[in-house]
Structure 1
Amino acid sequence: MPVLLHPQDSTFDADLRDRHLIYDYNVQNAEGSTEKWRYELWFFNEDRIVYAIHGGPMAGRKNFQAATYQCIRPGELWQCNWLEETGTICSLVFDIPNGHITTLIAFSKGHWEHNGAARGDKRDDGDLERWRGLARIGIQTDRVLLSEQADVVEDFRGAGELEPIDPSWPTM
């Protein structure tokens, strides 16, 4: 994926490189109760992210992806976007000073309707092939759009509990 920034000419190193966020979405379910969906994201480098999902319908998913970054306001706002094997499109904006995440996720029909099959670890060949199969369910316009906001509960540098990746590993 093309990098939409020149790391040497931006604040990427100071703002995002090797930054690890743990954040909670407070999502209202169909019964009107609030659920906490915990996500974990590591901005690995200028073209990769690593993440794990600990709560919500996608809990139990571990993945890494090629990503593009756009600086909206240096030191304050960054956008990170990626496409997954399931056909799901993710766009995340990190508000650094306020410790806030805003996302739009366009889940593929297969990923949303068969979220149990979307769990697992990309490093497992069976999980990866199953995820790719989810992308073939429905047509491109069969999407569930989920717009949510989350609060960052931990912000640090390094892998934490996430497994490092080799940047040369393919992502799709």
Structure 2
Amino acid sequence: MPDTSTFDQDIKDVHLLYDYDAVNEKTGEHEKWRYEMWFYSKPGSIVYAIHGGPMAGRYNYQKAEYQCIRPGELWQCNWLEETGTICSLVYDISKQTITTLLGFSKGHWEEAEKAHGDKRNADDLQRWRGLAKIGTQAERKLLSEQASIVEKFKGSGDLKPIDESWPTM
């Protein structure tokens, strides 16, 4: 767990909207994939929504591991989703970018529309857990992208707060 004073100073309650400049694998067209991330109230939780790209329509929260790379400059945040997807995000405070490596489970990547929904809905959560059972570790889709932060503020914005006692993975 990171030093909470550094976490509190750098990213506690920070809410980011950011865009990936992506290329649609099927059509070859350029797209903006909008993501929304809220570094929740204490080290250990993250709340997020996906508004663009193949995963658009996904609302989730997760227990997360935070690591301060350089105080005031770089933070890493990692988590595992119910879909079996591994997420690693680096927030560059000074350059206002997000760099990610995502290891999508085969089920999540190939059946992206089934990964849409809100974790607070029991049917969505059950469907997501089913996606994790499709494929093997070797069949993951790795996606490395960099996004530009378009808005940064404090607080929940349109995301719903969570109860830290709610179970995750």
What TM-score results when the alignment is normalised by the length of structure 1? 0.95
Of 31, 34, 54, which residue of structure 2 is paired with 1:35? 31
Deviation at 1:27? 0.5
1:16 pairs with 2:11: yes
Deviations 1:53-104 (A, max 9, x none): 0000000000000000111110000000000000000000000011100000
RMSD across aligned positions (CA): 0.9
Deviation at 1:34? 1.4
Write the mapping of 1:36-115 to structure 2, written as runs, cut at 5 A. 36-44=32-40, 45-115=42-112
Return the alpha-carbon distance in structure 2 between the equivalents of residues 112 and 42 of structure 1: 23
In proportion to residue count, which structure has more helix?
2
Sequence identity percentage: 66
Deviation at 1:125? 0.3
Deviations 1:21-75 (A, max 9, x none): 0000000223443100000000002100000000000000000000001111100
Return the alpha-carbon distance in structure 2 between the equivalents of residues 95 and 34 of structure 1: 24
Deviation at 1:126? 0.3
Return the alpha-carbon distance in structure 1 between the equivalents of residues 159 and 28 of structure 2: 32
Deviations 1:88-133 (A, max 9, x none): 0000000001110000000000000000000000000000000000
Structure 1 stretches of 4+ with a deviation exceeding 6 A read none
Residue identity opposite 1:129 in structure 2: Q
The 3-state SS of whatever aligns with 2:115 is: coil
What stretches of structure 1 of length at least 5 have no aligned partner?
none
What stretches of structure 2 of length at least 5 have no aligned partner?
none
Of 156, 163, 171, which residue of structure 1 is paired with 2:160? 163
Aligned positions, number: 167
Return the alpha-carbon distance in structure 1 between the equivalents of residues 98 and 147 of structure 2: 5
Deviations 1:109-165 (A, max 9, x none): 000000000000000000000000000001122100000000000000000000000
What TM-score results when the alignment is normalised by the length of structure 2? 0.96
